[in-house]
Amino acid sequence: MRPLAFSCKAAKASNGRVRWHRCGDSVAYYTNHYQGPPASTFRSHLRKSASTSSKTKHPPNFSFLSTLSFVYISQYSQDTVYFAYSYPYTYTMMRNHVTALTAEHPNTVKTSTLCMSVLGNELPLLSISDFASSSPKQYAVVSGRVHPGETPASWMMLGLIDFLVSAHPIAVQLRRRFVFKVIPMLNPDGVINGNLRCNMNGFDMNRCWSHPVPNLTPPVYCAKKLLKMCQQTNTPHNPVRIFCDFHAHRCSKRIFFFHFFQLLCVFPNIVVDQRIFLYMDAIILWVLRSGCFPYFYLNAVHNLYSQIVVSIIQQR
What is the pattern of x (binds Zn ion, CB under 5 A) and - over residues 191-230? ----------------------------------------
Q: How far is the CB of 120 from Zn ion (least distance, A)?
A: 24
Q: How far is the CB of 246 from Zn ion (least distance, A)?
A: 9
- Compute CA distances 73 → 10, 20, 70, 163, whole Å: 13, 15, 10, 40
Part of the chain binding Zn ion (CB under 5 A), chosen from 14-22, 187-195, 242-250, 286-294? 242-250
Q: How far is the CB of 249 from Zn ion (least distance, A)?
A: 7
In angstroms, the CA 187 to CA 212 distance is 14
Query: Running DSSP on this structure, what letter comes out for residue 179?
Result: E
Q: How far is the CB of 300 from Zn ion (least distance, A)?
A: 10
Give 149 or 239: the residue with its C-beta nearer to Zn ion.
Answer: 149
Candidate residues 97, 137, 224, 247; the one interacting with Zn ion per rule CB under 5 A: 247
Give 10 or 153: the residue with its C-beta nearer to Zn ion.
Answer: 153
> With contact defined as beta carbons under 8 Å apart, do 163 and 205 qualify?
no
Strands (E), 10-152: 21-22, 25-38, 62-71, 81-84, 109-116, 122-128, 138-144
Give 117 or 299: the residue with its C-beta nearer to Zn ion.
Answer: 299
Give 105 or 302: the residue with its C-beta nearer to Zn ion.
Answer: 302
Note whether 259 binds Zn ion by CB under 5 A: no
Give 150 or 189: the residue with its C-beta nearer to Zn ion.
Answer: 150
> With contact defined as beta carbons under 8 Å apart, do 147 and 247 qualify?
yes
The angle formed by the CA atoms of residues 197, 210 and 248, to the nearest 5 degrees, is 30
Residues in the chain: 316
3-class DSSP assignment, residue 113:
strand
In angstroms, the CA 245 to CA 304 distance is 9
Chain centroid to CA 60: 28
Give 84 or 282: the residue with its C-beta nearer to Zn ion.
Answer: 84
> How many residues bind to Zn ion according to rule CB under 5 A?
3
Give 117 or 206: the residue with its C-beta nearer to Zn ion.
Answer: 206
In angstroms, the CA 126 to CA 192 distance is 20
- Compute CA distances 19 → 11, 12, 27, 316, whole Å: 6, 10, 21, 49
In angstroms, the CA 60 to CA 47 distance is 10
Burial of 293 by CB count in 10 Å (0-12 exposed, 13-18 middle, 19+ buried)?
A: middle
Q: How far is the CB of 141 from Zn ion (least distance, A)?
A: 17
Part of the chain binding Zn ion (CB under 5 A), chosen from 68-76, 174-182, 214-222, 239-247? 239-247
Q: How far is the CB of 247 from Zn ion (least distance, A)?
A: 3
Query: Running DSSP on this structure, what letter comes out for residue 74?
Result: -
Q: How far is the CB of 186 from Zn ion (least distance, A)?
A: 10
Q: How far is the CB of 66 from Zn ion (least distance, A)?
A: 16
Give 158 or 304: the residue with its C-beta nearer to Zn ion.
Answer: 304
Sites for Zn ion among residues 117-156 (CB under 5 A): 147, 150
Q: Which residues bind Zn ion (CB under 5 A)?
A: 147, 150, 247
